Structure 1
Amino acid sequence: MSWQERPGAQRMRDGRLRLIHGPIDLIVACQGAPDRVEAAYRRAQAAFAPVLSDLVAELPRLRAATGPGPTGAVARNMADTVERFSPAFVTPMAAVAGAVADHLLRCVLTPDHGLACLHINNGGDIALWTEGPVLRVAICDDPTTGRIVSHAGVGPGDGIGGVATSGWRGRSQSLGIADAVTVLAATAALADAAATLIANAVDVPGHPGITRVPANRLAPDSDLGDRLVTTDVGALSSSDKAAAVSRGQAVARDFANRGLIAAAYLSCQGVRRTVTRQVLPRKAGEKRLKEVIHA
């Protein structure tokens, strides 16, 4: 499917809305009175229609780490988000899936939306909002198997509006060897960029059992250029796995301390670590974030 094709929408058997255009494939789900849900889906479909065309128009800038500010709403969110992770190398493309989900969420949540909860899943990068129900987010440690190893509960006042997962086994290129890094943050764009950077940091540089090739050999237009990305990871020793995850954990702690993320779950060949902020924002129902992810 190419980006020139028109955006499409279809209702799934369970009532959710699926929006497709080129490489973007979103699932929109919400709860509320039937008329409010139908109105929400109409807003989502209208907001989705120009997204891909607008992004394509600014792709050269979005694939570069620096440059003039983009003009489109989604593109601006991408650039503003990754700028917060400076001085790490990252292009706005690291936040694209999350930023698209965030954009639709904002467009659906009008002042009179009347919904109880809403979540927009863009290939595993999810923007979410809830006024009442606690949303239960499944966490897997290997996208190739889909095995669920943990869950995160997200409720009103938790300060969490997005979740994203990255790793060398995923759909995007990675500089590291994490099987999966799942991040919870205030927005899906922040979670998306943070998951990418933390997954990049899970690594054993120079290890002979890790196969890497230049990113632009796999995808000529990759925003990573000739940086080496991981294509295969052999069996690692216990010490190598621990060292790799510790590197990613240090980056995740830094992001948590800077207020960029709420929590992160890291996995590499069976070694799993969790990083959280110490305490959630002081609102009704405050709880420690270590209770959010149950490893």
Structure 2
Amino acid sequence: MDGPAHQVLADGRLHLQHGPIDLVLRAYGAEAAVDEAHRAAFARFATILGELVAELPELRKPISERPRVEGAVARRMVAACRPHRAFITPMAAVAGAVADEILDAMGEAAPLDKAFVNDGGDIALYLTEGETLSVGVAADFSRGPVPAMNGRVTLRHRDGIGGIATSGRQGRSFSLGLADSVTVLARNAAAADAAATLIANAVDLPGHPGVERVAATDLDPDSDLGERLVTVAVPALSDHEIEAALEAGRRRATAMRAAGLIRSAALMLQGRSVVLDDTHILEDTSLFEKTREIRP
């Protein structure tokens, strides 16, 4: 495997890549501080993959089996998954935990106005007073396999949100549910990542004869999901079926917010969406503008 690589993009963002980990990040502030933060990001990034590989056997265990880990990123993964009662392994939070770790390394290296680390759509962010960050999210798969821009969320320092994550069957990982996408706002990216996975799993119609599922190990022998059935195809659903599946996910998200685990969530299935605390399903795909209006 090639070693860690970095590239400064034309707009000032930094691209870091090592094996399966692929990050895009940026620091904002004084030039010297930005340079120092980017150097710190790469220095920390260079060590992460090796740390995770060394602990994979524990990280693939269900959280109910109390995985024993030592590395900083692995501990973030376990901490994000521990509060949840449903089946989950620390791997559900890996992308968010990596983003959180790199963001912390940047903040410890230099004083910054704001910063973000994007790990494949799971984003850790830091904002000082008066700063904002707008994030466009591609989550609408209703018009084909290439997602359309589904909306935009603009976050401010006072929102207290440090992480955004998206999960679903159209994403990089396997899903037990039907959701095209579920995007979660939380206190950090690892927490958002774990929650998005579980909410996406909950958007489901158990026993639906048209939904195609296969054992995760049939697709990836090393999957942390083992022989659990993951969704590989979903037929066109009726309005009633879409509403029922989204409502199941909304209930899971509402319980998480009541427990203080997330701040908000937006769920998408076959061109229709539901936003946490919004009891009706929207025909349009404006859920992130709707999310901005809902504050815990």
TM-score where L is the length of structure 1: 0.90
User: Which residue of the partner structure matches residue 79 of structure 2?
Assistant: 80
Instruction: Tell me which amino acid in the other structure corresponds to 2:80.
Output: T
**Secondary structure of 1:70 counterpart:** coil
**Match for residue 249 of structure 1?**
250
The amino acid that maps onto 2:99 is A
What are the equivalent positions in structure 2 for 1:275-286 lying under 5 Å apart? Answer: 275=276
For 1:258, give the aligned amino acid.
A
SS in 2 for 1:205: coil
Alignment match, 1:269: 270
The equivalences for 1:110-189 within 5 A come to 110=108, 113-131=110-128, 132-142=130-140, 144-189=145-190
Aligned to 1:11: 8
**CA positional deviation for 1:68:** 4.0
Tell me how far 1:203 sits from its aligned partner: 0.6
Question: Counterparts of 1:276 and 1:191 in 2: how far apart (Å)?
Answer: 17
- The answer for unaligned runs of 5 or more in structure 2 is 279-289
TM-score normalised to structure 2 length? 0.90
What is the rounded CA distance, in whole Å, between the counterparts of 1:82 and 1:290 in structure 2?
A: 24
Counterpart for residue 28 of structure 1: 25
Aligned residues: 278
Contact residue 153 and residue 293 of structure 1 kept, 8 A: no
Contact 2:99/2:123, CA 8 A, preserved across alignment: yes
Query: Which residue is 1:213 aligned to?
Result: 214
Which has the larger displacement, 191-200 or 4-13? 4-13
- Contact 1:204–1:244 (CA under 8 A) maintained in structure 2: yes
The question of whether the paired residues in 1 share the 8 Å contact of 2:179 and 2:268 is answered with: yes
- Once the two structures are TM-superposed, the CA of residue 291 in structure 1 deviates from its matched residue by 3.5
Distance 1:173 1:6 in 2: 27
Query: Structure 1, residues 217-270: CA drift from partner, whole Å, max 9, x if none?
Result: 000000000000011111001111000000000000000110100010001012
1:70 to 2:69 alignment: yes
- CA, structure 1 residues 170+222, in 2 after alignment: closer, same or farther (shift >3 Å)? same
Tell me the distance in 1 between the aligned counterparts of 2:232 and 2:13. 35
Shift of 1:115: 1.3
- How far off its partner does 1:140 sit? 3.3
Are the structure 2 counterparts of residues 29 and 52 from structure 1 closer, same or farther at C-alpha, using a change threshold of 3 Å? same
**Aligned-residue offset at 1:293:** 6.2
Partner of 1:286: none
Question: Kindly tell me: are residues 18 and 293 of structure 1, through their superposed partners in 2, closer, same or farther at Cα, counting changes over 3 Å?
Answer: farther
- Please tell me whether the aligned partners of residues 98 and 127 of structure 1 are also in contact (alpha carbons under 8 angstroms): yes
Residue in 2 aligned with 1:192? 193
Counterparts of 1:195 and 1:276, CA distance in 2? 16
Offset at 1:290?
5.4
Match of 1:45, SS? helix
Q: Which amino acid aligns with 2:9?
A: M
Take 2:271 and 2:92, find their aligned partners in 1: how far apart are those partners?
26
**How far is 1:142 from its partner?**
2.8
| 1:280 counterpart residue number | none
Residue 292 of structure 1 and its aligned partner are, at CA, apart by: 4.7
Distance 1:68 1:231 in 2: 29
1:139: how far off?
Answer: 3.0
Question: Aligned with 2:169: secondary structure?
Answer: coil
Mean CA deviation greater in 124-133 or 214-223: 124-133
What is the CA distance between 1:216 and its match in structure 2?
A: 0.4
Distance 1:149 1:137 in 2: 11
Structure number with the higher helix fraction is 2
Give the root-mean-square deviation of aligned CA atoms: 1.7
Which whole-Å CA distance do the structure 2 matches of 1:133 and 1:101 have between them? 20
Q: How many Å separate the matches in 2 of 1:293 and 1:99? A: 26
Gaps of 5+ in 1: 278-288
Deviation, 1:133, is: 2.1
SS at match of 1:109: helix
